[in-house]
Each structure stands twice: as structure tokens, then as C-alpha cells.
Chains A and B, each alone.
Chain A
């Protein structure tokens, strides 16, 4: 008798399995990580408890985890929206930068000494800047079928160079001794921070946006159209939905959200444009969106967990004196296992007993 493994697509995934797979993936990743930590010469239990204690153990840790989760959530929503329509917006990083530039321009050229009005102006301008930046790629894609992965990615570099132009050139702070940064924003142009922590008003947007888009995608006609166009653009076209209009619109909204996220980072935390402004949120958010399987509410959860990991791993370096590369290995393991687990959601592995020689020629052909 022969034993063999057969991989087959699942016709449907049960709810229980859908919940179990990410949990099991996480547990196996942590188990692998434990082996790794053991060989690094530290106690895995102590290392993991340090991560959790640092990021969730006290008010400070939780506040910093939230600070990390805010931009991740917002940008992941932007990514999710485009991805739902199978438009690959890889350009959120550039849209974040454009939003930040627009916010800085708002502070520079239309400063109003009222926090709410100032916030509204920055919000609108950064949204438009990020949105237009993304819509350019969207338009090319819809009109001439130009691959948006390439255009959005390339526009990132253009945006970063724009950013450099302003901080090295016309907006450079004259009192900065020639260092590339704009003057510090006045207080009214800073977002409110809560309870003496660095958690800023962006939190409200980060909680609101996922809910809004969950409702829109699930319960509105437009949301339905986007989903249909994502799955079958041709059918959508026959049904009278305008592909061009919707691609540009979706890209605009996606970019606008990323732009506003950039504004929140700038006005809530950084306080001025300076080199090294974004920590690569535009790219990390892609991972977040995938891990959350493009579910708006799942994105909040995943962003928060990623925040835990990022904040906790810094503390791990300090307390257990581990090098940064070991933190990257841990983070990589978790991503690898969780994304790998997706395979088992879509496919199942069956143990087939018995010899292949008894199978009919048709079955053999299918098996190939």
C-alpha cells in the first residue's frame, strides 16, 4: 500500500477553521521563535512576557502601541479599498508624503489661529494632495491600461523628491543653520493629544474609517459595484458600471486616506517636515491589509497587534540586549507563518492511501 499527500482546493472554509488558522499560525510562529530565542541564549518565556509587558503592561506602553497603530490602520484601509477592486496601490508611501507636504503648505500659507479650522484646512488639503497623487496612476490604469503597480511605486520616489525639494529649498527653516527641515508648527496646527500621552486626534479617524468603509463596502450600491468590478470587470462593464470612473474614484479616495494619515503623523507627532519622516507605513500597511484579509475591522486588530510587536521588540533590545536583526527574524517568522497559514484556508491536504496504479487515466491526468 502506498501513502501519498494530495492537495485539493477547499470548496468552502468553515467559520471555525477560519478562526483557528490565524490562531494556530501565530502559535506555531511563537513556538519557532521560542526555539530561535533559546539558541540566542535568552529565555523565550521571559522574552515574550517582556514584549507584552512593554506594549500592553502599562498606560504608557498601550499609548505608544496605539500611536503606532493609528497610521497603520489608516493606510491599511487605503490599501484595502484599492485592493478590493484589484487595483494594486503600492504607492501609499508617496501619498503619505504628499499629504504631509500639503499639510505643511496649509500651515505655511493659510494659517488660521483656530485649531478646528486649521485642522479642517489641513484635512481637506492633505486629502486632495494624496488623492490626486493616487488618481494619476488610477487614470493611467483605467484609460490606457498602464500597470498601476509600476506607476504608484515610481510616484513614491517622485513624492519623496518633492518632499526633499521643499525641506532643502524654499521651506527650509532659516534658524536651522542650514539643516533640512521646516520651522516647527505653531501649537494650533498640532493635533490634540490625549491624557499627556502621544495619542493624538488621528485615533478618531483610525477608528471611524474602518467602520465607515465596512458599511460602505457591505451595504451600499457603490460598495457592491467596487466588489463586482474587482472580481469581474467585464461583467461589471456589461452591467453598465463605469470602470474608468470608478478606478479613478477609488484611487482618489485611497490616496486621500493615505494623505490624511500623513497629515496626522506630521501634525500629531512630528511637528515639522524633516528627512526620515515616514517609517515606511505605506509598505507595512500592505502587509497589514493582507493579514486582515482586507476586512476593515480586522485591519484595526492587526494594526494593533503589529504595534505590540514593534513597540515590544524595541524594549526587548533594551532589556535583553538582543540585536535588532533578531527582532526582524521574530517579526519575519510571524508574517511567514500567518501568511503561510492562508494556504490551509484555501486548500486542504488529504492523505491518500492505496497505490496510484489503480487510479483511472482520467484521474491521473487531473492529478497532474
Chain B
């Protein structure tokens, strides 16, 4: 992978700040009929649930806009048909909410140049296709601080969906937080190779608990990990939304999304005629990512620490992957005084010091 590093940076550099696209002409609110395509059911209690929340917030802000959605569309060529069916039924803006839709969005976007496409978490764009995502790593770092302070035996477990840069970045930033709060703690990772498989997620969580961890964290789409944690009586850091409903007594906090922000902004721009494709990557500062309310066991001293660190990130004084950053083998990857670029973070493919686990090579 390493010898391709320069290539990645080049490709990303080109896509991130490359060709400036022209703005689209305005579309009246009644004619937009935005279509949302979800990978899971809106009741998954996590990823899709939060996108649906964002969609509803958007409709509330723009009552003239009538949006539609389709649930449980796999990351296969079936997605292309759903996009096209939405367009044939009057949608002028399409939101695809999972990485695996990327090629299919591009395919349909090339076929319908007058329709606007927004792809969540991808890197490809077109004159009518932009991307949106958030600096979740910043919120994950804060949740790591909490986990690091709450562990008694310094063993923390992490249930990861797919070994892709998004999740690896999440685990790394979480671990950076953990180590900042507690330099002796380690984070053990298990991959489940699926976004949406509550049974597998729960099994992985149980396996980690059996191996002796006393705090769990997760990056998948459902509330299965918090459920397992509550049953076993270990602390848990959720993801996507406030997952305390799944673990009423053991939920510490969760790094959460505010997708409504992007949906409102995009629809507003489409109505005004100012929409042009770009790569949205908002963070703590803009408020697109944040932390869910703390559980009752989290002491005030921990909350203060989180506030201090958050202030440093929001002010721009510091960010999670500022050097020095060491990898698992102890080698310094980011020297003191420098920081990882967005492109490097987006293609992150190695674990930082403190993570126990392997990446498939």
C-alpha cells in the first residue's frame, strides 16, 4: 500500500481541490422532490435512523419540499435502479447515504446531467455530483477521552464494521483520545465485515467482553453493541446517535451525527441556485459531529477534560492527528510540528500506537 501513497495523495488532491464546477440553476421547492436512498431500515437505531432524522429536519425547514426515501437498498447495482426510478418519478436531487453506492451514483449521474447527486462518504465527483461527510474523528477523539478515563483494567474493545479508512480513522482517533486520558490503555479491535448485521455485531461485542474488556466502543449501524454491553454490565460508547436507550445504565456517551445540517444546506442552495458540487467535510466547529449526553456514571472531571480538548479543536489550535503520531510498531508517522493533511486522513490505512488488532493486507 505504501508505495501508492503518493498516488493517493495526488488523486485526492485532484478531486478535493481540482476542477471548480459551475453552480446549478435554481429549482423551485415544489419540484425538487429529493430522494433519499438508505442502506438499512429507518428503524436501525443508528446510521440510517440519523439520516432519516436529518431528512425530516430538512422537510420541517422547507415545508414546500416533499421528499421520498427507500430503505434497505444493498450496496449493489440495485441501487442504480432505485436512483433512476426516483428520477423517473420526479426527483431532482438524490442523496445516496452509503459509500458502496459510489459507482452507481456516478453511472446514473452521467446519464442524468440535470439531476443533482449528493454522495455520503465517497470521493468521486462530477459536474452534478458532490460528496458530504463529517470529521467524525474529532468527536471520536472526545469519546475516547471518556473511555480512557472510565476503564479500570485498561482494556477497551472496539467493534468495527469494515477495515476501510473511515473506520480505521475512527478507531485511531478514538485510541488517541483513550491514550491521551490514559497512556496505559489499549484498544482491541474485532472486524465484522458488515455495516448492518445486529447478530454479528452482538457476537463480536460478546467476544470482546469475554476477552476481558471493561469498556466497549463501536463503528457499525445498529444498537447491538450497547445492548450486549448492558447485558454484560460493561461500559459502552455508542455511535451515530444517543444510544442510551439500548444501554440505559452503561452508556457513557456517543459520537453523533447531524445530517440535517447538510440536507438543509443543500436544499437551500438548490432553491437559491447556488448549489455546486463540492466535498463537504464539516467537524466539531460547524457542529455536524458532537457528543451525546453523558451517562450518569461519568464524573465531572472527565466532562471538564472533554470540554478543554474540544475547545482546542474548535479553535483550530490543535487537531487529532497533529504530530507526533506513532503507528502500532512505534514508528513515528507524523513528526512533531506537522499534521496529517485531509487527503492523508481520508486514505488512512494503518493503526496508531495503542490499537491491538490487524488490518487485512
Residues of A near any B CB (own CB < 8 A): 54, 60, 64, 67, 164-165, 168-169, 174-175, 177-180, 184, 198, 265, 269-272, 274-279, 311, 314-315, 317-319, 321, 323-325
Contacts and interface: CB of A to CB of B under 8 A. Distances in A.
Interface in B149-172: 162-165, 168
Give the interface size bracket for B toward A. 35 or more
Interface in B313-352: 346-349
Interface string B66-108: 0011111111111011101110110000000001100100000
- Looking at A184, A311, A317, A318, the one whose CB has the most chain B CB atoms below 10 A away is A318
B7 A178 contact: no
Contact of B89 (A67, A178, A318): A318
A168 B162 CA distance: 9
A276 B77 CA distance: 9
B7 A164 contact: no
A317 B349 contact: no
A311 B81 contact: yes
**3 A-B pairs with least C-beta separation:** A276-B75, A168-B360, A324-B71
Contacts of B165: 177-179
A177 B163 contact: no
A179 B81 contact: no
Contact of B86 (A168, A180, A318): A318
A57 B70 CA distance: 21
A270 B76 CA distance: 7
A300 to B, nearest CB: 21
Contacts of A265: 77
A270 B77 contact: yes
A177 B74 contact: no
A315 B81 CA distance: 10
Contacts of B42: 323
Interface of B: 1, 4, 7-8, 11-12, 35, 41-42, 68-78, 80-82, 84-86, 88-89, 99-100, 103, 123, 162-165, 168, 193, 346-349, 360-361
Given A179-B165, A272-B103, A279 B347 contact: no
A168 to B, nearest CB: 4
Contact of B163 (A168, A175, A321): A168
A317 B76 contact: no
A305 B35 CA distance: 27
Given A168-B163, A178-B164, A317-B70, A269 B81 contact: no
B88 A276 contact: no
B360 A319 contact: no
A24 to B, nearest CB: 31
Contacts of B82: 314, 318
Contacts of A179: 99, 164-165
A44 B88 CA distance: 22
B5 to A, nearest CB: 10
Given A164-B193, A311-B81, A317 B71 contact: yes
A274 B100 CA distance: 8
Contacts of A64: 81
Contacts of B168: 178
B84 to A, nearest CB: 7
B72 A324 contact: yes
B351 to A, nearest CB: 13
Contacts of A198: 77, 80-81
A167 to B, nearest CB: 9
A270 B77 CA distance: 6
A56 to B, nearest CB: 14
A276 B76 contact: yes
10 contacts: A174-B1, A175-B8, A177-B123, A178-B168, A179-B165, A318-B68, A319-B68, A324-B41, A324-B71, A325-B41
Nearest to A313: B70
Contacts of B76: 270, 276-279
A151 to B, nearest CB: 22
A220 to B, nearest CB: 36
Given A178-B164, A279-B78, A314 B7 contact: no
B180 to A, nearest CB: 25
Contacts of B347: 177-178
A164 B73 CA distance: 20
Contacts of A311: 81
A333 B88 CA distance: 28
A152 to B, nearest CB: 21
B40 to A, nearest CB: 10
Nearest to B11: A175
A60 B84 contact: yes
B162 A275 contact: yes
A171 to B, nearest CB: 12
A184 B75 CA distance: 16
B77 A314 contact: no
A270 B75 CA distance: 10
Contacts of B123: 177
Contact of A315 (B41, B71, B78, B89): B89
